[in-house]
Amino acid sequence: MLFTSPEFLLLFLITFSIYYLPFIKQLQVYLLIVASLIFYAYSQPFLLLLLVFSIFINAYTSYAIVYQANVNRKMLATAGVVLNLAVIAFFKYSGMLANTLSAESGSVGAFLVSLPLPLGISFFTFEGISLLVDTYKDKTPNNNNSFVVTSFRQHIANTFLFVSFFPHLIAGPILKAHEFYPQIKIKVFARIDWDGAFRQLVTGYFLKMVIADNLKDQTFWISYPYFLKMSSETLLCMLFGYSMQIFADFAGYSLIALGLARLFGYELKQNFRYPYISATFADFWKRWHISLSSFLREYLYIPLGGNRRGKGRTYLNLFITMFLGGLWHGAAWSYAIWGSAHGLFLGLERLTNDKFTFNNTRLLRIARGTLVFTAVTFTWLLFKLPEFGQVIKYVAAIFNNYSIYADIRKITLIFCYSLPVVIYHFAGYLKEGEKGYLIEKGEWALYGLMLFLLLTNKGTSADFIYFQF
């Protein structure tokens, strides 16, 4: 179910109108679970079983880690993590493996290739892992009681809500158990942060429906072999537009998720923080898909040794983390190459910083920011084009097609629809500096304009790009 669809609006309105009724307050968690399961089952009813199975396993294992006597907690947590990884590997990567080994013609290979990819599998399995690791490490704030409550029934309900809560179920943000469980309690209508929810929902829907959905019609032509006939300027503009589109699409989705969760009394962590103003690759990964990058840092990079085992090992750890982070996005080698490229960028950046000292001048920051943006944008081609060979052809066409007429219509449309994303980042830059007041003064006009464009200028709706992951 899309956040932009009428069916979703209906589900949301029904759930929200019941949620805060006084006689429902003890059942709020259950109501959200039912709504979330309907939300999930609407697209893939038969795969609901997998989600329920995954939740049960994680709920049981995490409960056993805390309360079961005479048990090897480490062994149990490890087994749970391995099981989660096995589920994601089976459904997401076995097809890729069969294709790579050219085994798809055999009956087993054909079966593996034909497996459906359950919506949100990368998200809910990672949340399962977070639950098990956090339970094992007991990351409860203030180290009071464990967030795993003593009642098993209640723990199952809490886990159902944690994993399946519909705002984040299909495309994140990826929640961490130690941040979400403490928030599960009775919610009161009077405490809704209407202002925050309004800002997040308007910006989120605007980014998705006005920007991403309109840009997608322009960037559609980044597909082989159609791009071969386009001019260098058009190809560069389309690539720039795709960079804006992927941000608007995913950041839009995340903001809608945050706004919806806020209406139900839950605060999810910000998933994007103006990523395109980053002056370094390390900074970019602190601003882009924050829930994934912080997950990878906490549950992969640091356990691998982080930067504690010498420089060489740090570079290697960065590379491994990003390589696996790339594969997390999809079962294709192009995603692995994308992740490896980012691992390489991060490693080289750290190596440069280790070897040389730079004066942090404004000019240098702008130059580095441009370099980061260019590299990030070019690597998005690996998301858009299914084969690495096509990526090479696209880049070659940029250099070769300088003599073909530019498609002015496409370029102006990309410019017009990218401009709000550029302004959004500029506003972010001002907010992070000392000139945020300049934006705050006229915010009402910006939100008013966004509402107007939502009414008059929305594009044809399409799935969110991150649904495929």
Partner 1 sequence: MKIKSILFSVLLTGGYYFLCNYWEDIRFRYEANQGQWSENAMKAQEFLYDLNTPHYSCITGSSLGFNLAGNVLPNNYFNLCFRGQSVIDGLELLEYKERLPDTVFVEINYVSRGRSKDFKRKIASNRYEVNLKKHLIFLRDKYMPVGIVANYMEGKINFWRQRYKSLTIKPSANAPVKEIANGLPKIDKVREDIIRLSVKTMRIVPDTASINTTFSRTGSLLKALEAKGVTIVFFEMPIDCALVNSNLLNKNRKEMEQRFTKQHYFYIAHEGCGAYYTVDGLHLDHESAVRYTNYFVKQLQTGH
Cβ contacts of 225 within 8 Å, gap of 6 or more: none
Q: Which is nearer to partner 1, 301 or 424 (CB)?
A: 424
Is 178 one of the catalytic residues? Answer: no
Q: Which is nearer to partner 1, 90 or 402 (CB)?
A: 402
Q: Which is nearer to partner 1, 81 or 202 (CB)?
A: 202
Question: What six digits make up the tokens of 153?
Answer: 């029934």
Q: CA torsion sign, 436 to 439 to 444 to 446?
A: negative
Instruction: Write down the catalytic residue from 178, 329, 342, 425.
Output: 329
Least Å distance, CB 367 to partner 1, is: 28
User: Contact residues for partner 1 (CB under 8 A)?
Assistant: 5-6, 194-195, 198, 202, 210, 214, 217-218, 220, 224-226, 228-229, 400-406, 408-410, 412-413, 415-417, 443-445, 447-453, 455-457, 459-462
Least Å distance, CB 176 to partner 1, is: 31
Least Å distance, CB 445 to partner 1, is: 6
- 193 and 354 in contact (C-beta within 8 Å)? no
Instruction: Look up residue 280 and give its DSSP letter.
Output: S
- 179 and 127 in contact (C-beta within 8 Å)? no
Least Å distance, CB 216 to partner 1, is: 9
Helix, strand, coil percentages in the chain from 3-state DSSP, rounded to 5? 75, 0, 25
Least Å distance, CB 344 to partner 1, is: 31
Q: Which is nearer to partner 1, 229 or 435 (CB)?
A: 229
Q: Which is nearer to partner 1, 216 or 342 (CB)?
A: 216
- 292 and 325 in contact (C-beta within 8 Å)? yes
- How far apart are the C-alpha atoms of 469 and 467, rounded to whole Å? 5
Q: Which is nearer to partner 1, 32 or 211 (CB)?
A: 211
Nearest to 177 by CA among 157, 158, 202: 158
Question: Mapping DSSP to helix (H, G, I), strand (E, B) and coil, where does residue 359 land?
Answer: coil
Q: CA torsion sign, 210 to 216 to 218 to 219?
A: positive
Asked whether the bond before 420 is cis by omega within 30 degrees of 0, the reply is: no
Burial class (CB in 10 A: 0-12, 13-18, 19+), 22: exposed
Least Å distance, CB 136 to partner 1, is: 44
By residue count, the chain amounts to 469
Instruction: Give catalytic residue positions.
Output: 329
